[in-house]
A and B are shown apart, each in its own frame.
Chain A
């Protein structure tokens, strides 16, 4: 290691005596400035209302659906700032921030597995497949809160028909996007990536199951699963996979991501059921966002028309 000769330090580098003597004042000044700046930032954070800009595309030709509920819709602001989307963040308000620059175009959805012919569909081709419907569904999270959302899409069975599955296909598996560059949560191991979900064929073909690309009259915001998701209203929210890139038909039951994460707590079926508690908390009640008191949870989230899919099944075992 070479020693620095005194003469090699340029005189411009020497601290002026007055600065040296006043260094403590400088530090105090710096500390106060930082404190002032920090306080300023805190107030700026408080003063800014948290909302996402509704800069989305309107959807034309939306038809009403008999499946819609007449219950009060959750405000758009709440549905776009309170999201479980671990690909972006495990905080509720995180996805709205982190998904701001998420690119939902171009987007291709692969249809493969037990199908007659593998397909690569462009998202815009999917959107045009059939007339869009508005379905105002209750959406119940496994955590114990619920919302009412006017989703826009069409029956998942429409896509299944066009996918032309082989007779041996018993399940449909949905895979979400894997892109750690855009999705910071995927750089952590909080869940196994990419996110995988699945439905039994008869569940996917049920009229209530929705292939969804919009809400509140517009295309899906990024934090709500743009550009394509499913909505399965009689199951806990985590079953309604977001930002789907692949739909695979298979004869073996898919292992969904939350089951991988915690097999004792999250199963394949995950039907909303007030009689089957989560191991750590009760599922008997829920908090509808915007309401003060909790309300009782309904079997199948109130969608009794799906009960026939599960006759004879022990829903405690098949949770």
Chain B
């Protein structure tokens, strides 16, 4: 759905700009806290948890764009999805960097050991790796090159990333599973919505 007139184009650009700035707030807050020595007693742990949390949140936000635009009929929301997805990748990269740098000090041998020995790290690592092709093929050029159908198939990997991310969170928590479960519930709702929509579109619609 294209926007033809100048006023709505500018409104969309402004909206995207505001959302872009808002999506930077979490990392800006982390930087602010770093310079004001308010990251708490275990700063590396705080940064790791915060960036991981925001990765999951942005994944969930990205996955809720389509359900939201259908329910509210605000179809322009789709133009925010790529940016939000890339922010999920951005925070995921920060989270991964915090782990290999501040936790493992680039000891790649130790990182590799972890990936194979610690299931929750196996999942986290896999979830991050899955985001890379998605980030690399996020441009309009890629959609043209791959063709819409293949591009859509590839980008369905985002569901797997989100699932792996949630299980990664659940498996690293000591005893309080409330937050991972909240994320799991939200993700389940989003997936079920898409599944329901897909079923009704492809199976239940006559003549398809």
Within 8 Å CB of B118, what residues of A?
Answer: 280-282
Within 8 Å CB of A290, what residues of B?
Answer: 41
Within 8 Å CB of B15, what residues of A?
Answer: none
A303 CB-CB contact with B under 8 Å:
no
Chain B contact residue count (CB 8 A cutoff): 23
Number of A-B contacts (CB under 8 A): 51
User: A residues near B, CB below 8 A?
Assistant: 46, 49-50, 74, 77-79, 81-82, 86, 90, 92-93, 143, 145, 190-191, 261-262, 280-282, 287, 289-290, 292-294
Contact B40 A93 (CB under 8 A): yes
Please pick, from A86, A145, A190, A191, the residue contacting B42 in the complex, using a CB distance under 8 A: A145
Choose the segment among B4-12, B72-80, B134-142, B172-180 that binds chain A (4+ C-beta atoms closer than 8 Å): B172-180
Contact A46 B38 (CB under 8 A): yes
> What's the least CB distance linking B117 to chain A, in Å?
8
Contact A280 B176 (CB under 8 A): no
Q: A289-B42, A293-B105 are in contact. List 10 more A-B contacts (CB 8 A).
A: A46-B29, A46-B32, A50-B40, A78-B41, A82-B42, A92-B40, A93-B40, A145-B45, A190-B176, A261-B175
Please pick, from A46, A86, A93, A143, the residue contacting B33 in the complex, using a CB distance under 8 A: A46
> What's the least CB distance linking A139 to chain B, in Å?
13
Please pick, from A191, A262, A281, A287, the residue contacting B44 in the complex, using a CB distance under 8 A: A287
Which B83-108 residues have C-beta < 8 A from chain A?
102-103, 105
> What's the least CB distance linking A263 to chain B, in Å?
13
- A46-B36, A82-B41 known; A280+B175 contact, CB < 8 A: no
Within 8 Å CB of B41, what residues of A?
Answer: 74, 77-79, 81-82, 92, 289-290
Within 8 Å CB of B45, what residues of A?
Answer: 145, 287
B148 CB-CB contact with A under 8 Å:
no
B173's nearest neighbour on chain A, judged by CB, is A90
